[in-house]
Every structure is written in C-alpha cells, then in structure tokens.
Amino acid sequence: MKIYDWPTGPYPARVRIALTEKGMESEIAFETVDLWKGEHKMAGFLKKNYSGTLPVLELDDGAFIAECTAITEYFDNLDGNPILTGNTSREKGDIHMMSKRAELEVMDAVSVYFHHATPGLGPDVELYQNNEWGLRQRDKALRGMRYFDSVLRERSFVAGDKFSMADITLVGGLIFAAIVDLPVPGECTALLAWYERMKERPSVSKQLALKA
Ligand SMILES: N[C@@H](CCC(=O)N[C@@H](CS)C(=O)NCC(=O)O)C(=O)O
C-alpha cells in the first residue's frame, strides 16, 4: 500500500498518527506530492483524487481511497480491532459525530483561513482567494476551540473515555492552527491540557518532531 502525502501537512498528519497508533507504518510506502508546487492540482494527481487534496491511499489492486476519515477507517478495520473508530454502534456514532465536528468547526475552518486570508500556498496555487470568508472561518475555528474546551471539561477524550479518531482530528486541527499562528485562546484550559496529554502520545510526538 502507498500513501501520497506531504509529511508535515496537518491532514496527512492525521493518517500518520493513526498508522502509528495501529503499529502499521512499516506496511506503507510514502510518496511526497509537493503542495507548494501545486502537484496536487495537476491532472495526473486529480485522477487519483478528484478533490485534489492529500493524503490519498493507493491499495495494492490500484484502487484509491481519499479523505482522512475514510483512510483511517480502512486501516482501523483491517485487523478486526477498530480501536480508533469504535467497536459498538454507539461508539461508532459518537466517534463519527465528534470527528466530523472537529473537522467542520476547527480543522476545515483553519484550512479555509489559511487558503483565503493568508498567502496560503502562494499565488501560483491559490487561484481564488476571499479574505473576508477566510477571516470568518478563522473566527469559526476559534469558536470551535471554545466548544471543544467545553467538551473536554466534561470528559477525558473528544468522543468519550477513550482515545479515538475524533482526538486525532482535533489534534490535526491544532497542528494546522499552530502552522498558521492561530493560538488556542488562553482561557481554553481544558483543551490546552488535553493537547499536552496528546503530545505525550508517541504517535503525536513523532509527527510533531517532523520539520517542514
Ligand atoms: N477533507 C480532506 C482534506 C484534505 C486536505 O485539505 N489536505 C491538504 C493537505 S494538508 C491539502 O491537500 N491542501 C491543498 C489544497 O487544498 O490546495 C481530508 O480529510 O483528507
């Protein structure tokens, strides 16, 4: 199996963290696609992933799976021990909901801020930018951080009492926020404490040690 990615990219980080949690990294070959050169928007890559984003998993039969959540689910179920995406219907529902929420309210919002209200990947790649939309999404991300702070005041992990894909998604959001200099508001003490705990996990610390 092969993953097309950008090693320090915040979305690819989610899949790399999941692979380390599953102990599966050695089973995967990684191929870098240069975001700064816009290689992810070129015709050859768009055949692999219509959305023109990283990461993308290529299976041994030549099929492609895009989207961090889909790739994580695929790996998590390969060994019949889905520790990241849930065993029971209830766990699966809670994890899916909270992971989606971490994407919508934090990670994707930070991404829109990066692509629209900062230079993003540069003028050759960012063909349309809307500063006002980007700034609104920055504010949405900050509201999302406050929401997750309230969640983490009540529980140890994003989707309940166990580490899951939902934690990985929120970690990805905070990795991206740090890249774009969007700090977690200081009053979000539960979110900040949770993030410190996440950084103690080998999967997360290994990812954070990678340098751009
Ligand atoms: N919904 C996608 C988003 C992936 C994504 O935005 N990846 C970033 C890499 S860090 C990317 O390809 N950005 C380039 C762009 O949007 O032009 C997923 O979860 O995999």
4-25 pLDDT, tens digit per residue, is 999 999 999 999 999 999 999 9
| pLDDT per position as a tens digit, 89-117 | 999 999 999 999 999 999 999 999 999 99
CA angle 97, 103, 108 (to 5 degrees): 155
Give residues with Cβ within 8 angstroms of 79, minimum separation 6: 22
Identify the band that residue 178 occupies on the pLDDT scale cut at 50, 70 and 90.
Answer: very high
Q: Which atom of ligand 1 is nearest to the CA of 176?
A: 10
The per-residue pLDDT for 212 is 63
The pTM of this model reads: 0.98
Report CA(184)–ligand 1 centroid distance (Å). Answer: 21
User: What CA–CA distance (Å, rounded) separates 154 from 117?
Assistant: 34
Q: What are phi and psi of 180, to 5 degrees?
A: -95, 15
Q: Which atom of ligand 1 is nearest to the CA of 121?
A: 17
**Which ranges in the chain belong to alpha helices (H)?**
10-22, 43-48, 68-78, 89-102, 108-117, 131-154, 165-179, 189-199, 202-209
In the structure encoding, which two tokens stand for residue 168, read together?
């990985």
